Structure 1
């Protein structure tokens, strides 16, 4: 048995229509499906909702639930805002910069471009407070990923014992690929 791919990811939204229009305008996602029920199919709980689905490219689907009878949505107060996010891949740095300019022109606060070594990212929030990331591959992505593949288990093991950041991948934030920290 093996998972084929993610069918969809679902988040809560404040307003389904506002969310669909924002994702269409800001990230050029197509609105593909809406489902509305008065009872939750899995639990049979009386909880009316609107469930909207957006095309995030290559079979990836982003979905949202508007839950008008539930208390206002919030964030986990024990988790920093930068942790929970969804990242979307764009073709290259030129397209990343184009999205950055587009979002900023629409009044969206954008952080970055941040160089993560194997990829470069910008960060911003949707109207529901969900943190989003757009990423493009680094030109040396494949060589860096090959090295990361060799050290992933050692890093995980060291972390599980020490709870301190292992230095096996320090080269990612060095100025030159292959530099050792």
Structure 2
């Protein structure tokens, strides 16, 4: 008898590479107020055919909900090109605060600390401010709009139709860039 699958409940942690653990700690702990929860020095063979184990420090910052942001400090194979500013569509971290007033207070604090914190941007369902961490990752602080939950319920009602329409509209462009095989990988690799 196999174990029944239960729905996945939450993100335990999201992990990223960092330039320097101490610089990353300063940003996430001193500026953003997240608790440094762990720092594991590890030496692990992930089976990546590197010819050696990966030696790194894995640091964790605890969020208010008990989940974590984690970072790998691995100077043995890290390169400067790993840390250019990421386009926010490629990677960003969005941390939630409880109100627009608190969001603006965070923005004031971060700007006063010398971080360029842009926004607030009204996305309809949330309001957000943006900055970059020391590793080139865009960090968003966001709060739900007063009617944000209602907007999400309304969007859920037609999300599949919107996705199907977008797929039909953009498929030819994507095929010319990526090829049909790349777009049809369901269940393969």
Runs of 4+ in 1 over 6 A off after TM superposition: none
Contact 2:46 2:53 in 1 (8 A): no
Q: Deviations over 1:11-63 (max 9, x none)?
A: 000000111122111110000001002x2254384221011000122022000
Matches within 5 A, 1:138-153: 138-153=145-160
**Residue of structure 1 equivalent to 2:66:** 59
Unaligned ranges ≥5, structure 2: 172-189
Q: Deviations over 1:98-139 (max 9, x none)?
A: 000000000101111000000000110001111111110111
Contact 1:88 1:134 in 2 (8 A): yes
Matches within 5 A, 1:41-80: 42-43=46-47, 45-74=52-81
Contact 1:118 1:137 in 2 (8 A): yes
Unaligned ranges ≥5, structure 1: 165-181
Counterparts of 1:127 and 1:139, CA distance in 2 = 32
Counterparts of 1:35 and 1:23, CA distance in 2 = 17
User: Cα 1:41–1:59, aligned 2, differ >3 Å: closer, same or farther?
Assistant: farther
**Residue of structure 2 equivalent to 1:173:** none
User: Cα 1:80–1:29, aligned 2, differ >3 Å: closer, same or farther?
Assistant: closer
Scaled by the length of structure 1, what TM-score is found?
A: 0.83
- Does residue 81 (structure 1) correspond to residue 100 (structure 2)? The answer is no
Counterparts of 2:131 and 2:86, CA distance in 1 = 14
Contact 1:82 1:131 in 2 (8 A): yes
Contact 1:24 1:31 in 2 (8 A): yes
Counterparts of 1:141 and 1:85, CA distance in 2 = 21
Q: Deviations over 1:57-105 (max 9, x none)?
A: 202200000011114143599x961211010111010110000000000
User: Cα 1:80–1:15, aligned 2, differ >3 Å: closer, same or farther?
Assistant: closer
**Residue of structure 2 equivalent to 1:19:** 24
- Does residue 103 (structure 1) correspond to residue 110 (structure 2)? The answer is yes
**Residue of structure 1 equivalent to 2:41:** 36
Local SS of the residue matching 1:128 = coil
Scaled by the length of structure 2, what TM-score is found?
A: 0.79
Shift of residue 145 of structure 1? 1.5
